[in-house]
Amino acid sequence: MRRTIRLHDLGREDVGLVGGKNASLGELINGLGSAGVRVPDGFATTADAYRELLDSGGLRERIAEQVDRLHGGAPLPEVGAAIRSAVLDTPLPSGLARDVLAAYGHLARGAGHTDPDVAVRSSATAEDLPEASFAGQQGTARSCAASG
């Protein structure tokens, strides 16, 4: 299972694997780099990595319970906060944590820094489809820093 993929290894055919923003960044790097357009390096976590997180620590079930509460009439802000809390409180599976740290380390070496600043962006696999758009629904809840 691939949990992380370097942006330069991505293209538009990878939207289902890493989302539209990540696939587009791969296209930019590969299509415009030779023309002198500089796009920062980076990496994406995959949909498989997300599913692995959902399947760890009972997270998928906790989310389903909250969605059931919503369907039962619980207020959306309350349910959303409970789901957000469940996700943030669930530790990354060890393999995923190891792969993210390795990808960050590779990025750091390429940037010539031991601890480079990074931007964390969501890139849902269905947010930029021609028949549907969910732009703006994803968010970064808090700053992320790699340690290891």
pLDDT score for 146: 43
* Per-residue tokens: 61: 């079930």
Q: Using CB atoms within 10 Å of the CB of residue 93, give its burial: 0 to 12 exposed, 13 to 18 middle, 19+ buried.
A: middle
Question: pTM of this prediction?
Answer: 0.77
pLDDT score for 95: 95
Question: Three-state DSSP class for 133?
Answer: strand
pLDDT in single tens digits along all 148 residues of the chain: 899 999 999 999 999 999 888 998 999 998 887 888 887 889 999 999 999 999 998 999 999 999 999 999 999 999 999 999 999 999 999 999 999 999 999 999 988 988 888 888 777 665 555 555 555 555 544 444 444 4
pLDDT score for 124: 66
Residue 137 carries which DSSP code? S
* Per-residue tokens: 21: 């923003």
Question: Residue 93: what residue type?
Answer: P
| Interatomic CA distance for residues 135 and 41, integer angstroms | 23
Domain boundaries, the chain: 1-49+95-148, 57-90
Q: Are residues 135 and 123 in contact, defined by beta-carbon separation less than 8 angstroms?
A: no
Q: What is the CATH number of domain 1-49+95-148?
A: 3.30.1490.20
Tokens 């960044």 belong to which residue? 25
Among residues 78, 19, 21, the alpha carbon closest in space to that of 50 is found at 19
Residue 33 carries which DSSP code? G
The CA–CA distances, whole Å, from 126 to 123, 131, 135 equal 9, 10, 10
